[in-house]
Structure formats: C-alpha cells, structure tokens
Amino acid sequence: MKTILLLIAAVIMPLSAADRPFGLVLHGGAGVIDRTALTPAREAEYRAKLTEAREAGYAVLERGGTALDAVIAAIVILEDSPLFNAGKGAVFTADGTCELDASIMDGRTQAAGAVAGVKRIKNPITLARSVMEKSSHVMLAGEGAEKFAQQQGFAFVPNEYFHTEHRRQQLEAAKKKAAAKKTAALETQADRAARYGTVGCVALDRAGHLAAGTSTGGMTNKRFGRVGDAPIIGAGTYAHDATCAISATGWGEYFIRVGVARDIAAQIEYRGTPLKEAAAATLAKVAALGGDGGVIGLDRAGNLTMPFNTQGMYRGWRLSNGTEGVAIFASP
C-alpha cells in the first residue's frame, strides 16, 4: 500500500510542481546612483553581474533546488564582485577595515541566521547560513562569529581581500567631509550615498518555499561598531512561507525602527494586503520618518515587487512565468 502511494505521489508530484510558480528577485543596493558617472561601460558591467547572479540562482530553482540554495548562489556572486557593497568591494569603516554583516531566513521553518562585523570571511552569507543550520543561535557578532566560523571549518581571507581602490577613495572623501563639518549639518547626497549599497535575494522554489538573504559592507566611515538593518531579522531580512520573502536596502537606522521586512509580511498576514501595496506602505513609513531605500519581495504566489524611493536600485528578477529583467533606474 505504502509503495503504491509513493508511486502515485511520484507521478503526481512532478506534474503539480510543474505548475507551481518559482523564481527570484535580487538587488545590489538602492541609493544615490549618479547617472552621469555611470558610463555605458560601467552600466554594462553592473547589468552583466546582476544577470549572472540572477541566472545562477534561477538555475538552482529550475533544477528543483531550494529557495535557500538559490539565495546563496545569487548572493555569493554579488559578494564576490567588487561592484557591490558586500564581500569584496565592501566600504571601509573609519578605521580603514571592512566589516561585513549578513543574514538569511528560511520561510519554511522561520529558521534564521545572521552575522555582524565579521572581517575575514569571504562570503558572509554562507556564514549566516551556517549560524542558522549549525548553531543554536540566530545572531553572532564580531570575533565570536569568526571563532564559530573557525570551528565550522570556514576558510579565512585577510581583510585586504575585500579592499578596493574605489572604496578607499570614498572613505577619504567621507573623512574630509566629516572634518570640514563643524556641526552635524544637513548631510549631502554624497554622505547619504555612503550609507547604501547592500545586496540581497528573495526566492520561491518549486516546492513552494520562500527564502530571503541580505549581505552588506555597511556604511562608509562607519564608527562605534554600528550595526545596520542587514543582519537584523525582521528589519533587513524576513521570510515566511505563509506570507512573503523580503530583503531590504537603504538607510539602515530607519529600516530597523520601522522593522521593514517584518512590517511588509505583517500586512499580508493580518489584513491580507497584496505584497506590492504592503511594500509601498512600509516604504512610505520609512519616508515619513525621514529615511529612504528600497526592498525586493516575492510572495508565495510568485508575485514580485521592487519599490524604492531613492534615485535607483540595482536589481534583477526572473520568474517561471517568463517575466525577467535587470534594471537600475525607474521603478517598474
């Protein structure tokens, strides 16, 4: 009897699974993106890398892999690219080092993992996953997180691995600006730009499970061990199969106060708001407090949203219904 049921299941499952929507959305940060400084060649580089990450994640989903694996596959590529403020190419702290944060959440189980302030892990998103799967904790910070990484057999890279000349110049510029300001005057767009740039991915797999992940180098000229929204479950990252998967990018302090990722999911959970409206309402809360940024989201039905209230947001998406693209400016 059991065997017959298993055989029936084996025949039926792939058919019903074939009808299920799947896909992913990813971002490479929202913020001030200077159209004039973005040469066609540079823009092509961004588009190529976003496409590469998108296709890597999509390939995982297409062959029946999990949303979690797809999120990791996409984010690792963005972390490895010097174009984005995560992993290699992360911004510098005031001390001239790179400190990385990442988090991940499994919509199937609401398991979550996060690391804050790690300095020698090539792909922080993989360490966040390890915290989720191999420790009894959700969040590990600083040297403690690296001790855990060591115990888990992670390879370490010197902090210099993350350094890029571009980010070094950003730090110098930020320091000059900070020194020139006698008071905490209104900040310029360049200051604000220093705050953004994070990568993230949300995915829905063929089994109907959602996952979300976010990884960042934080903000240029960061001091005092500042922790932004990226490693905070409920702020930068959230996933629940019953509602949606969200990854955020923006002015972290406001995203924490609003609890952006969880707030979007809560609207779906408690009043049935469609994903797109929920995300817009939450971003409006951020704006009302004085912050800005963007989010990417995907719900269980395969609806996606990618709103931002900044000049641009690097993003890519591909769904099993054929919808796909990469974009930098103009909210779709």
182 touches a copy of itself (CB under 8 A): no
Subset of residues 250 to 279 that bind a copy of itself, contact rule: CB under 8 A: 252-253, 256-259, 262-263, 266-267, 269-271, 273
Select the span of 28-36, 162-170, 175-183, 217-225 touching a copy of itself (CB under 8 A).
Answer: 217-225
| d(C-alpha 4, C-alpha 320), whole Å | 31
Q: β-strand 23-31 against 199-204: which pairing, if any?
A: antiparallel
140 touches a copy of itself (CB under 8 A): yes
Convert residues 236-255 into a mask of x (bound to a copy of itself by CB under 8 A) and - (unbound): --x-------------xx--
289 touches a copy of itself (CB under 8 A): yes
| d(C-alpha 250, C-alpha 183), whole Å | 24
Specify the 3-state DSSP secondary structure of 224. coil
| d(C-alpha 327, C-alpha 316), whole Å | 6
Query: Among residues 35 and 147, whose Cβ is nearest to a copy of itself?
Result: 147
**Which residues make beta-bridge pairs with 293?**
250
Active site residue 198: yes
- Alpha carbon of 251 to those of 33, 47, 78, 85, 223: distances in Å? 15, 24, 20, 14, 15
Q: β-strand 139-141 against 111-118: which pairing, if any?
A: parallel
Query: Among residues 54 and 195, whose Cβ is nearest to a copy of itself?
Result: 195
Q: Which one is catalytic: 66, 93, 198, 310? A: 198
| d(C-alpha 38, C-alpha 36), whole Å | 5
Output the smallest distance, CB 142 to a copy of itself, in A. Answer: 5
Q: Which residues are catalytic?
A: 198
- Interface positions with a copy of itself (CB under 8 A): 105, 110-112, 116-117, 135-145, 147-148, 184, 223-228, 232-235, 238, 252-253, 256-259, 262-263, 266-267, 269-271, 273, 289
